[in-house]
Amino acid sequence: MIISDAAIEDFQKNGVVVLRGVFRDRVAALAQGVAQVMAHPSPLERSYQPKDGSAPFFQDYCNWQRIAAFRAFIFDSPAASLAARLMGSTTSRFFHDHVLVKAAGNSTVTPWHQDQPYYCVEGSSVSFWTPLDPVAKYMSLECVAGSHRWNASGYRPKRFDGTSLYATDDFEEIPDIDAQREHLTIRAWDMEPGDTVAFDFRTIHGAPANTSAAVRRVFSSRWVGSDARFVRRGASGSPPFPHLTLADGAPFDAPEFPLVFGA
């Protein structure tokens, strides 16, 4: 898998880069996997049904152990080696998968947020946001370039309906990105199925509603590097991994997070 040094440098400097066509040959299988998940959601499914009666935003996590297409993506696609190169890591470990399907007309605006404070892991990281349908720029993922370096402690995580994720927390409120749009570099692209937006867990991102007449199916896969450390969040993180017995700050090593590259 060819990825240019310029793309790696761009990712490290700006916390986000688009990679064209890298997962194109995986789209059909992933789409089947998404259909399986939607037909039989996991206990972690968290979908949003907008109050305005528009179509739902389906979300589910951590399905790779039961969905063959997701396992094939994790273990047989270039994702793991790409992740290692982008992170500047000798290894890459799979963290989790996330299915995000905005049905045609779904009015949910994914609010600006960083993923890092939701997760039970810290260290070098990358998410691959991979659409399985064409997504026009006006309704595609938006990422604030450079925001992965804004605040080392992270901004307050909220559910996509605006409620706080943790009962109490010390996080700072996220800045009003929309109010500063003109002064920021916000990256978004017209996406084809199998293109991917690679972004750091700390990069601030959001996504518009699906105002189109077509479904927007996305498969996100999340990866961490050799410096990854466990952060104890109990049942409150998202996704929750309440059964993990790792000590706070311990190397991030457990069977549900397979070391895929550099093993």
Ligand X SMILES: O=C(O)CCC(=O)C(=O)O
Which residues of this chain interact with ligand X, rule CB under 6 A?
Answer: 98, 100, 110, 115, 127, 129, 141, 205, 207, 218, 220
- Residue type at 94? F
Q: Which is nearer to ligand X, 26 or 205 (CB)?
A: 205
Beta pairing, strands 196-199 & 229-230: unpaired
Q: Which is nearer to ligand X, 116 or 226 (CB)?
A: 116
Nearest distance in Å: CB 217, ligand X: 10
Nearest distance in Å: CB 2, ligand X: 25
Q: Which is nearer to ligand X, 98 or 158 (CB)?
A: 98
Q: Which is nearer to ligand X, 4 or 151 (CB)?
A: 151
Q: Which is nearer to ligand X, 87 or 100 (CB)?
A: 100
Q: Which is nearer to ligand X, 14 or 127 (CB)?
A: 127
Nearest distance in Å: CB 7, ligand X: 19
Nearest distance in Å: CB 90, ligand X: 25
Provide the β-strand partners of residue 122.
229
* Sign of CA pseudo-dihedral 10, 14, 18, 23: positive
User: What is the C-alpha separation between 94 and 73, in angstroms, rounded?
Assistant: 11
Nearest distance in Å: CB 103, ligand X: 12
Q: Which is nearer to ligand X, 51 or 243 (CB)?
A: 51
Nearest distance in Å: CB 95, ligand X: 12
User: What is the C-alpha separation between 90 and 47, in angstroms, rounded?
Assistant: 36
User: What is the C-alpha separation between 75 and 63, in angstroms, rounded?
Assistant: 14
**φ, ψ of residue 260 in degrees (nearest 5):** -100, -35
Instruction: Give me 7's structure tokens.
Output: 């793309």
Q: Which of 89, 71, 64 is nearest to 11 (CA)?
A: 89
Q: Provide CB contacts within 8 A for 186, sequence distance 6+.
A: 142, 143, 144, 145, 177
Instruction: Give me 140's structure tokens.
Output: 């595609």
Nearest distance in Å: CB 139, ligand X: 9
- Residue type at 115? D
Q: Evaluate whether 246 touches 79 at the Cβ level (below 8 Å).
A: no
